[in-house]
Structure 1
């Protein structure tokens, strides 16, 4: 199943989501719609344009929920974060929420892909995925 929105197409790279991540993220976007409408809209736009595949068939180099990602924004330093649901976020420990602009930009990208995203200060930045690691639990689940 493939979902797309016209405003999300164009310069954005193709992304892949597992059925489980698609369903959980769709529910999360709906749950925060009243409190954070812009965040919910951006997340929904990203997941709507994803190619959704069966659980367990997402390539290992694709960012999923729980993945640890090394990325570079613009020409800045390399950063390493783990993409998590809001309740598990702890920026001091490198765990960023899917509801952050970077979290939403990262989901579904694969190693080597870049995407332009808008930071909270309104500036457009280019984010490039350098490496993706999956948690051990994902491999055995």
Structure 2
């Protein structure tokens, strides 16, 4: 894997994800990779999050380098999947890759089946913090 990009997490997202992971009896490879990303992240208060950074409940357009295919999804917690018609869990392989990246950044990320791919942020369609929603 190449050098990974800097990532930014809100302290609220960090605390909520960390609490969910602490409840897991056994961590999957995706959970472990997400924890590694969280450990190296720059933490900011929700009010300080830049407008181009993917946070929880952000609607993000991204593409996978291997196929060039673009997707638009709302990043959510696993228990919220039914709340969004286009949901992707932060515990899914691609969902875990999205959190903390800014528009234009990409990350090499392990995918199911032992392959890896580059996930690139194309556009941040919606972000709660941009709208002043700091505790969502």
Pairwise TM-score range, normalised by the shorter structure: 0.7 to 0.9
Please say if 1:135 is aligned against 2:128.
Answer: yes
Q: Deviations over 1:78-105 (max 9, x none)?
A: 1100000001124x82101000010111
Contact 2:105–2:120 under 8 Å retained in 1: yes
Figure out how many residues of one structure are paired with residues of the other and give that number: 132
Runs of 4+ in 1 over 6 A off after TM superposition: none
Aligned-CA RMSD value: 2.2
Please say if 1:21 is aligned against 2:10.
Answer: no
The aligned counterpart of 2:113 is 121
SS of corresponding position for 2:32: helix
Contact 1:29–1:41 under 8 Å retained in 2: no
Contact 2:11–2:44 under 8 Å retained in 1: yes
TM-score (norm 2): 0.87
The aligned counterpart of 2:52 is 61
Contact 2:51–2:130 under 8 Å retained in 1: no
Give the Å deviation of 1:136: 7.5
- Runs of 5+ unmatched residues, structure 1: 1-7
**In structure 1, C-alpha distance between the alignment counterparts of 2:7 and 2:97, rounded to whole Å:** 10
**In structure 2, C-alpha distance between the alignment counterparts of 1:113 and 1:70, rounded to whole Å:** 12
**In structure 2, C-alpha distance between the alignment counterparts of 1:111 and 1:25, rounded to whole Å:** 22
Question: Which gives a bigger RCO, structure 1 or 2 (Cα 8 Å, sep 6+)?
Answer: 2
